[in-house]
Amino acid sequence: MAKKAKKAKKATKTSRSRKSSTRYGAAASKSVEGAMRRKKKGTLRSGPGGRGGRVTSREQAIAIGLSEAREKGAKVPRKRAAKRSSRKQG
């Protein structure tokens, strides 16, 4: 007796329009691109007035680009709330 082959079901995403679900605007993308370019060039600096030193990590460059975009009013999601650390009472 031959066994029937089982068909694998594909997981389908809910059909939403692409425009409404975009998280970052085009201006935010441009701002991050600029920050990445400055990081490569070696002129991207962190901190107020660039006094924090030269940025070397990719993640930090992206964060700076998004922060600049937020200041300009571009479409960028809010920052994540910092996790609270529970200290032991004693």
Q: Does residue 32 belong to any structural domain of this protein? A: yes
Q: Does residue 9 belong to any structural domain of this protein? A: no
Q: Does residue 10 belong to any structural domain of this protein? A: no
What is the model's pLDDT at position 88?
Answer: 72
Q: Does residue 86 belong to any structural domain of this protein? A: no
Q: Does residue 66 belong to any structural domain of this protein? A: yes
- Residues 53 and 46: beta-carbon distance below 8 Å: yes
**Residue 46: enclosing H or E segment and its boundaries?**
none
Structurally, how many domains does the chain consist of? Answer: 1
Q: Does residue 63 belong to any structural domain of this protein? A: yes
Query: What is the tens place of the pLDDT at every residue in 3-62?
Result: 666 666 666 555 555 556 789 999 999 999 999 999 999 999 999 988 999 999 999 999
Task: Summarize the confidence of residues 69-90 as an average pLDDT.
Answer: 84
Q: Which of 38, 80, 39, 79 is nearest to 58 (CA)?
A: 39
Q: Residue 45 pairs with which residues in a beta bridge?
A: 54
Instruction: Give the domain extent around 36.
Output: 26-72
Q: Does residue 77 belong to any structural domain of this protein? A: no
Q: Does residue 87 belong to any structural domain of this protein? A: no
